[in-house]
Structure formats: C-alpha cells, structure tokens
Amino acid sequence: MTRWDAVVLAGGRASRLHGVDKPALRLGGRSLLDHALDAVAAAERVVVVGPQRTVTRPVSWTREEPVGSGPLAALGAGLSRLSTSEGLVAVLAADQPGVTAATVSRLRAALSEVDGADGALLVDAGRRQWLTGVWRIGALRAAMPEHLAGAALRALFGGLTVVEVPADVREGRDVDTPEDLAAWRAGYPDPGSSV
C-alpha cells in the first residue's frame, strides 16, 4: 500500500461564525479539529496548519507566512513540513465533521484506480471540494505557484488531473455559520457545548 501523510488546515478567520476559533468548536463532545484528525488517524505523519491547540493525537504544527494569507499558503506551509516527495497526502479542512476515515479511504482508492491522475477529491452538488482530497505529493509540489499569499486554490489544483468522488450528504456539509453548527449538533448531542 502506498504510504500517505496528511495536512489539516485549521486556521482561517471564521468571519461567518463571528471570528470564533472554529476548529476548537465542539461537536459530540469533541473539537472539530479532533474529528478531522480522526479521519487521517492512519496517516504516517499529520501536519496541522494553524495555531496550536490541545488535540487527542500527536501531530506536527506549523503556520502559513504571513499568518492569515489564505488556504493555498497554508497548504504550502503544511507540505513544507513533509520531507518526502513520494506517496500521497490527504488534504482536509478542519470544519468538515462528516469527512471520516472511510472518506479518506474512498479517495485513496479512487486515486489508485486511475493511471495518470494527480489527485482525487470530493464533489458535492457538482462543486469540487478543493480541501477534501488525496493527492500525489510530488504533483502538488510541482504545481505549487511561486507566490502563495492570497492566491486561489484553483491556481494550484486547476492544472492537475483530478478524479471526482461523489460526496454523501454528511461529507459535503461543513461548519461555516451558526446555523451549520446547530444542524450538526442536532445529530451529535453534546450538553456541555458552547460557541
């Protein structure tokens, strides 16, 4: 089986959640970040890009430079902490509690089935979920633009060959607004939670 690592993006401004620390929000008694880390528990190495927090498993931490310069810069920072250019890397955002280890396994399997593909990512309602995918790390490194700060993810992913994997209802639901969080909590009772 091809070795794989993971980069979890856990920064951002959470402007639609009034600037709260979104990855630290609790769902089912656990943080959103811990839910994301569960999804990549089988990875050889896990790098979290964002401010250090208490988590349930060992990870490496890093930050994009400058802090707040966007998801592409964050991904670049995460990749820079992985010393290899071989194998696969799962790239996840920390605000998708419906993405599980089974999701990552499905993405890895889809990528392995298509010769010449650079990555596999979830597609929800026809939209590619750029931050829910598994990629050949060498392809990502080769496609990384020179200037990362403020650049759109499409600047990286747009030129890569992608296998699209349909998302199920839960996998495509992230937590961007108080209403999103309330909807998720309705399915994960957690009496001690607060925004």
CA dist list (Å): 43 to 2, 115, 144, 148: 11, 22, 22, 26
The DSSP code for 28 is T
Instruction: For residues 125 and 139, give the distance between their C-alpha atoms in angstroms, rounded to a whole number.
Output: 26
C-beta atoms surrounding 26 within 10 Å: 18
pTM of the model: 0.89
User: Which pLDDT belongs to residue 78?
Assistant: 94
* Residue ranges covered by each domain of the chain: 4-185
Q: Provide the 3-class DSSP secondary structure of residue 49.
A: strand
Domain covering 4-185 assigned CATH 2.40.50.100 in the classification: no
pLDDT along the chain (195 residues), means of 10: 88 64 87 95 96 93 87 90 88 94 97 95 91 93 78 76 92 83 73 42
